[in-house]
Structures are given as C-alpha cells and as structure tokens.
Structure 1
Amino acid sequence: MNTNTVASRTQRNQGDVARIVEVETKMSLMQKRLNMTTRLPLFFIPLILSPAVVCDVKVSKADDRPNIVVLFADDMGFSDVGCFGSEIQTPNIDRLAAGGVRLTHFYNTGRCCPSRASILTGLYPHQADIGHMAGDLEVRGYRDRLSPKAVTIAEVLGSAGYHTIMTGKWHLGWRDEGSPTARGFQHFYGTRGYIDSYFTIVPRTEIYLNEKLVLPVSENPVNHLHPENEWYTTDVFTDYALHFIDTVQRENVRNKQDKPFFLYLAYNAPHFPLHAKPQEIAKYRGRYRDGWQELRKTRYKRLVELGVLDDSWPLSPPDVPEWESLTDKQRDDMDFKMALFAAIVDRLDQNIGRVIDHLDEIGELDNTLVLFLSDNGGTKETGLFGIKGETNTVDNHDQWGRKGGWTSSYGQGWAGLSNVPFRRYKRENHEGGISAPFIAHWPDQIKAKGELRHPPAHLIDLMPTFVDVADATYPNNFNGNQIEPMEGQSLMPIFHSDASKPRTLFWEHEGNRAIRDGDWKLVGERNGPWELYRISEDRTELNNLADSDPQTVAVLTAKWDSWADKVGVLTPEQFEEAKQQVRERAKQQKKGK
C-alpha cells in the first residue's frame, strides 16, 4: 500500500472521529440531563426533564448491580501514592482510600503484559498464553495474544448485560483477532501495544478507536474530543473514558434500559519516558535533594504510622551507592528525574479525580466499585541513573523532555524509593517486584472507611470478584472453546472483614519464581537458589530460613514444580531454545520467499 493511500485512509478516519465528536458535542447539554435519569426512580424524572422528553422516556426496572471501574497504573511501586506513604501529592487516590479499604498484601505478576493478562482473565499469565511478553514463541503459554481458552472480564460482564469500556494501553497483542474489541470490549480507545511517549505517537503505539486506526505515528497527535488541548496520554485516555461513560448512559436512556458499565482504564503512567508538564515539574523540583536513602527512611516511617507496615519489619537495606557519593551535578540531575516521575504521578492523580468527580456528578459514584492498583513495582532495568542518564540531563531537557522512545527514566536509585520497604524490582518475584498499592471504594457496599485489610490477594482475584458482584456466570465454554477454570477467589469477604484464610499463590517470570503458601514464601532469582521467608515476621525478606528449614523448602518446591508443570512454565533454557527456534523458522520462511 503506498503512502498516499495510507494518508488518505488516515484523513478519512480522522474525519470520522471529528464528525462523531461534533455530534456528541451538540448533544452534550441534553446528555447531561438524560444521564441523571438512568439510575433514578421514575417519579424523579419530571423534576429533571422537560415534558416533551418525559413523554418519550420510560425507565425499565432498575438494575442495581454496580458499575465497575478499574484504574490501572503502570510501573508504580508500592509506596508511590500518599495513602501508601509517598510524599507525592495524590489527594484523589487518597480520597478513594479514605472512603474505602486498602489491601496491604496485594500482588501483581511483576511485569506489564503478564499482569494485564491476569487482571483480565482471572488466570495465571501462562494459562492466558502471556507467560512472558506479547511475543509469539509458538508454544503453549507464550503466545502473542490471549488464549482462546481464557475468557476476559469484558466477555463475561458483556454476556451478563454490562456495557464494556476500555481506554489506554492494551499490550496483549497487535493482531485484530486479539484486540480489545475482539475480546469483549464494546468501546475502546487506545493503543494495542505499549506506549513510549506521552506527547507523541511512536511506532507500535498507534491509537485505535474500536477497530479503526485513527492516529498513526505523529509528532503532533490530535485529541479529537478536545482539539484545543495538547495531547497528553493520561489526559486523553481519561477524556475518552468519560466520553464512553456518557455514551452508554445515553444508550440506556435511548433503549429504556438501566445497564451498568465496566470501565478498564489502563493508564501508561507513570511508566518511562519521563514526560511531564511544566506546572507539575515545578511543583516537585528540589524536593528530592535529600537523596534516596533519606527519602526511603521517610516513606518507611509514614507507612508504619499509617498502619500499612508492621514496625517489626525493618526497612530493606539500600543496594545503590550512597547519595553523598554522587557529584553535585549528578545529585541535581537525579533530583530533577525524580521530580519528573512525581509530576507524572501527580497528573495521574488529577485525572483519577476527574473520573471520581464525573461519577459523582452523574449520580453513579455510590453504586460503583472502583479499584486502583498497579501492574508491577518500580524498575531498575535501566541502570542507576536511568536511560541515557549521563547524557539526557536537566541542562538539555528541552531536547529530550518530549521525545518519544527510550529517552529517560528515573533509574535504580529512585526505583528503590518506589518499592519501599521491600527488596528487588520489576520483573523479579521478591516483594519489591510484585507488591502493589490496592484500593477498593464502593460506598453502597463497602461500609469500612479508611480501613486496612491484610490477607494476601492477587490479580487473579479480580475476575471472581466481578463475577460475584455482577451476578454473572463464568462459562465452562465460550465461542466453542473449553475455558480454564478461574484461579482466584472473590475479594468481597476481604472488603468486609480482615479475617484471613490460608491460600497459595504462585509466580514465575524469566526464571524468577515464587510461591506464597499461607505464612511461608519461597522465592528465587533466575538460576539462583531458593530463599525461604516467614512473611508475618519478615515481610521485607531479610532473614532467609532456607538453610535452617530444608523440609519446608522441599514441600514448597514440590508445590511450585507441580504448578509450573500445570500452567506450562518454561525453564530459562527452554525459553531461550524456543526463541531460537522461532528465529530459525523466520529465517527459513524468508529464504523461501
């Protein structure tokens, strides 16, 4: 296809979007009035609508099932929001915590794609065919799209009568047959891939509206809902989330129905690159001059004061150079990099506030289950000073501050701050890599306000929770495929009570592996020995009991091995062999052409 054809198609697609937005804008005043009727008794309608509209509207029997909203952060550590100890100002996330409950032992899978697979399917990543990232090794557990033997939350809730909405980052495969709309989302705006820019659109991050490519690679993308505003992904994904909520509310009125909605808002914030707006940067510049060691201690103290941590769990020791060993220039640059990260989190919080306020304005907040969480811990994968840390500095920020791609990150030093009080990082299975801040807010049903819950929970628990509250049915078969049973359990009992029941959870990523069985956790790094910890006494994993308790190590190892065999985990050697075989097949196919 030539470039003129591509450009013409893009112009048509953008024209379609602009026309849609124009119609929606003209309807906005009517929309606000109609939205207010969707969950109100019939006798309230004359107080809100004109007589002409009232004659046309008949509200069906109320569906009192909750709306469900998942607010998913990207590369955010355990202590990066205020209600989990951070100095970053997150009043809106904290508002959710004050009106709901926080889970202090909530786990993700330790990395982006696997966490997205688990959150959407209620399965361990390998069962959903995303055992690594969204690349195809052509073997069970490691494909480039979700398994046909997995059913998504959108498919389950859609079958149960919900509107299903997604905006943001999919990152579960680029293929049409594996796209969000192919997997149950009726409304989608975002990228099928990853996102390596907040201000521009770089290759493989193109933007889709449902099945249609609407924004290709661009240095100056347009927000079709608000073309007067600068493109910034966190803002735009929120714009479309609110737009879709209003769309389905109007649909309810038009069809004289009262269907609830499920919204999966998958932000790319605060994942690198460090793209932030000037007003937020200025707010945090200079706040990190005390350095990572001192700020880790400050966050730890706050976490203990908040009750999130037991003060018998020591802060894990730093694994980076002393702050004072850096030069003055390095300290200034690193203060700036962390200010950028904080600014991204601040902007994320502002947008979450927009979602909360909008739900309140349309009368839906009280009967909406809102969850906030993240996909993995802070990342050290770009070195101590971050991506291009020695060349992309505060002095030349104007040259890289809005450039897409791998241009900047906050580095291992600040990742250790994000993951306070824990050891290790994203991609690893120690607590620092897999522990997430988690908040549940639902005023109609979660009567506890600002309370903490300490039982262990995992991304696999979201599917059974939503099936529970939505009175939905998890299928044995779907689209002609036999479906894997759910692995998790409903979190509703935890939302109501801190009582804990023993359970077993598993992890594996790139040879890093772990099992938490009741109070025990067995964890090992790639090609490293098993380490054993008693979590109730040692959440920060500092006292390895493996040598003193080989029997427990043996029991837990057998359980992990059985699970790994069940879900199709490849050893690091098998993984590398599978990658090599894919490369060889690709070479042969290329020669054949």
Structure 2
Amino acid sequence: MRVLLHHLGPEAFVILMWFLIFDKSSSQPHIVFILVDDQGFRDVGYHGSEIKTPTLDRLAAEGVKLENYYVQPLCSPSRSQLMTGRYQIHTGLQHSIIRATQPNCLPLDNVTLPQKLKQAGYSTHMVGKWHLGFYKRGCLPTKRGFDTFFGSLLGSGDYYSHYKCEGPGMCGYDLYEGEEAAWEQDRGVYSTMMLTRKAISILANHKPRKQPLFLYLAYQAVHSPLQVPARYLERYKGIPNLHRRKYAAMVSCLDEAIHNLTLALKRYGYYDNTVIVYSSDNGGQPLAGGSNWPLRGSKATYWEGGIRAVGFVHSPLLVNKGTKCRSLVHITDWFPTLVTLGEGTLDEDLNLDGYDVWEILFPLLDDVWSGTSPTRM
C-alpha cells in the first residue's frame, strides 16, 4: 500500500492519523460476518465482564470497537435487517420471531446481501442459524443468494441432538445441508464446534486468490438452552448462579471457536485480505444468564439493553489499530456498507433504510489521494 505522507496536506494528514485506513486497491476483500445470538452488552471481556473472551478482546483491540451500535430486540427482525438493509416494518417482520408453523418468510421480492455480493463476483456461504422462514423452498437460504447452507432454519434447539420443540407434539429435527436434512452430517457434536468446523471446511475448499468469499457465520450460541461441554464449566466455578455459570462457559466456548476460525483464515491464505464483522443479534436475556449492565432492559425490549449490541470490525487491512467508534451504527447499515466494500452496486429501487458507513468508520487511503469516494451516503 502506498503511504506517501509527504504529498498530503495538513488536514489529510490529521485524518490519516486519527482514523483507520483501509486499502482496497489490490482486490475485493473476503468478508466474514459473525452473528452471535443473545450475547449481552456486558458479556465480553473488553466491557469489563468476568467472562473471559481473549480472542474477541484481541480482535476488537486490533480493529475498531462499535460502542454505539444498534440492532433489533429480537432474532428475526435483526436478521431481516442485516439481509435486506431495510427496517422490519418494510418487510412485514416487525411482529416477533418467525415460528415453525407460520407460513411466513423474508419477502421474496426483497434483494438480499448475499445476492448483491454474488452479483459482484463473490462465492457466498452460510453456516448457522437462518430464522427467516422456510414454509416454501423459495424462502430457503440457497434460494436467497447463498451458494451453500449448513445449519438450522429456526435455531434454539438442542445443542447436541439438534431437535427443536415449540410445544407438545411440535418437535422436529433442525439441521440442514442445503435444502435437505443433514442426517449424514450429524455426529451429535456440540453446535458451536460443529458450525465452526463446517466454516473451516468451506475455507479449506475454496481458493482465496481465485474468487472473493462471503461467509455468514450465524452461531446458535449463546441462546438458550444453556448447554456446554463440562470442561468450559470448570473455568467458572466461582459464579454461584447456575444459569450465569453455564452462560459464561458458552461464551468462552464461542470465543475459542472464533480463535480457531481466525487460525484457519491465516492457514488457508484469507486473513491478509479479510474483513471480519462481529455482532450480536440483540441484547442478552438475564433469565438465561445474560447481562447488559449498565444498560436498562433486556432482549425483547426497546430499552438500550435490548437493542444496543456488542460489535466490532477487525481486519489486517486496517493500519491504525485500537480505535473506538462512537458514531451511531445500525445493523441495516451493513447491507450498503458491505456491498460497496465488495465493489457491488446499490440500485435506487432497493429502497434501503441503511447507510454506507464505511467512509465514516474507516476513511479510504485512495479517497485521500483522489478526493473521491466509492461509497454512497
């Protein structure tokens, strides 16, 4: 990357010193979006939690922490906004989550984030929790822009058996490969580990120098039921509340999984040209061990504790590390931001509610040289 500071005027130099710089001149970056479920605002090490998250702490410290980052208070609304860049009132998903028996899904006339990245030349893969409806095949992830899908259509099932119950007589198997039940893939492996292994397998079988990759890794963790391998519980013997103890152990397992994913990005040649976005889908649920302190409220409320989320961006392409962003960022903003970052197009008829915030978060070096920006605000 060219760094010819002697050509810059004083104002441009100040911008470079105070903000992160991203070099997009070489090629389209690989994009890894990690969405976790029900992680509370407090429940990460760098927010002062007793829960140990060394990987998340390191990735955030070497990137930019989003300290004024907002989502929706429930699962399906947040996921719909991520996928479309539109508020849930515009997609009919403002009611609550999508239940197994509902003939409802993300409207088929809404263009999705993976569809736009696919148009830009990306290989698109989803691993994890969908929860945007499946009552007909057109609603499934592989019909909404993903080349491959492995995970659950609902989420919040058993972490080992992958069965989900929504009431007496309403139980079913919820693990899929593509559009079919993943019986042959199922070895009773704990969900967080299983999804990470699948993501790593995708990385191992893709050629990072041939085609940019978009990986959407939507973990089931740390949503209830509170289940975790015993070895993680040993770390939190000092927490008296059983729900909190199990929840803390689940967060530590998640942190270790992301460590393994990061190692795989390096091992298979992605890391140096990858942007990682980390986000929770909503606030934590105190009755299931989560904590949003010092924020009021919880998951399923519109108080800060329900909608202000843990979030950060990490990439080795960022020159200046350790920045905190206190500007307002919303989950709808990722659609236009990532499409533009991936050199895709944003048509006016998309009717987006989100904004491209990349220039605000990370001014581009090329913009300083040319005085122009590829982003749209």
Report the TM-score, using the length of structure 2 for normalisation: 0.83
**From 274, 281, 303, the counterpart of 1:375:** 281
Residue in 2 that maps onto 1:8: none
1:231-242 to 2 correspondence within 5 Å? Answer: 231-242=189-200
Partner of 1:134: 98
Report the Cα distance in structure 2 between the residues aligned to 1:372 and 1:204, rounded to whole angstroms: 30
Structure 2 stretches lacking a partner, 5+ long: 1-24, 164-170, 364-377
1:337: which partner in 2? 243
Query: Deviations 1:57-103 (Å, cap 9, x if unpaired)?
Result: xxxxx971100001111011111111222111111111211210001
> 1 or 2, which has the higher helix percentage?
1
Q: Deviations over 1:205-256 (max 9, x none)?
A: 52111122223xxxxxx756xx5xx51000111111111122222xx7xxxx
Q: Which of 174, 196, 201 is matched with 1:206 structurally?
A: 174
Q: Which residue number in structure 1 is paired with residue 76 of structure 2?
A: 113
Q: Secondary structure at the match of 2:107?
A: coil
Paired residues of 1:193 and 1:204 also in contact (CA < 8 A):
no
- What corresponds to 1:188 in structure 2? 149
Runs of 4+ in 1 over 4 A off after TM superposition: 135-138
Report the alpha carbon displacement of residue 375 of structure 1 after superposing the two structures with TM: 0.6
Give the alignment partner of residue 201 of structure 2, picking from 237, 243, 246: 243
Q: Is the 8 A contact 2:335 2:354 kept in 1?
A: yes
SS of the residue 1:337 aligns to: helix
Q: Which of 77, 81, 88 is the aligned partner of 1:125?
A: 88
1:285 to 213, 237, 240: 237
* Residue 429 (structure 1) aligned with residue 321 (structure 2): no
Deviations along 1:411-467, one digit per CA (max 9) or x if unpaired, are xxxx4xx101110111111111101011101221x2231211101110000001111
1:205/1:173 Cα in 2 relative to 1: closer, same or farther (>3 Å)? Answer: farther
Cα deviation for residue 136 of structure 1 reads: 9.9
The match for 1:317 is: none
C-alpha distance in 1 between matches for 2:118 and 2:268? 22
**Equivalent residues of 1:127, 1:147 under 8 A apart:** no
Tell me, what secondary structure is at the counterpart of 1:167? strand
| SS of alignment partner, residue 436 of structure 1 | coil
Aligned to 2:112: 152
Match for residue 276 of structure 1? 228
Q: Residues 494 and 103 of structure 1: is their aligned pair in 2 closer, same or farther, counting only changes over 3 Å?
A: farther
Gaps of 5+ in 1: 1-61, 216-221, 290-334, 381-385, 387-408, 477-482, 498-593
Equivalent residue letter for 1:345: V
3-state SS of 2:344 partner: coil
Q: Report the CA distance shift for 1:93/1:223 in structure 2 as closer, same or farther (over 3 A).
A: farther
Residue 27 of structure 1 is matched in structure 2 by: none
Q: Which residue of 2 aligns with 1:494?
A: 360
Greater RCO (CA < 8 Å, at least 6 residues apart): 2
Q: Do the aligned partners of residues 475 and 368 (structure 1) sit closer, same or farther apart at CA in structure 2, a change above 3 Å counting?
A: same
For 1:308, the equivalent position in structure 2 comes to: none
**Letter of the structure 1 residue corresponding to residue 182 of structure 2:** V
> Per-residue displacement from partner, 1:538-564 (whole Å, max 9, x unpaired)?
xxxxxxxxxxxxxxxxxxxxxxxxxxx
Deviations 1:335-393 (A, max 9, x none): 2221100000000000001111111112221211101110111125xxxxx4xxxxxxx
Cα distance in 2 for partners of 1:448, 1:243 equals 31
Bigger Cα Rg: 1
Using the alignment, how far apart are the partners of 2:356 and 2:315 within structure 1? Answer: 15
**Match of residue 354 from structure 1:** 260
Measured in 2, the distance between the counterparts of 1:454 and 1:489 equals 16
Equivalence map 1:367-446=2 (5 Å): 367-380=273-286, 386=287, 409-410=288-289, 415=290, 418-444=291-317, 446=318
What residue is the counterpart of 1:485 in the other structure?
351
| Contact residue 295 and residue 304 of structure 2 kept, 8 A | yes
Check the 8 A contact 1:192/1:206 in 2, yes or no: yes
For 1:342, what is the secondary structure of its paired residue? Answer: helix
What amino acid sits opposite 1:361 in the alignment? R
| CA–CA separation in structure 2 for the residues paired with 1:365 and 1:275 | 31
Aligned-partner residue type, residue 174 of structure 2: E
TM-score calculated relative to the size of structure 1? 0.53
**Counterpart in the other structure of 2:39:** 76
Q: Distance in 1 between matches of 2:282 and 2:248?
A: 17
| 1:465 and 2:337 correspond | yes
* Count of matched residue pairs: 330
How far apart are the structure 2 equivalents of 1:496 and 1:379?
A: 32
Q: What is the aligned partner in structure 2 of residue 167 from structure 1?
A: 127
Question: 3-state DSSP class of the match of 1:338?
Answer: helix
Structure 1: distance between partners of 2:143 and 2:26: 26
Q: Deviations over 1:30-68 (max 9, x none)?
A: xxxxxxxxxxxxxxxxxxxxxxxxxxxxxxxx9711000
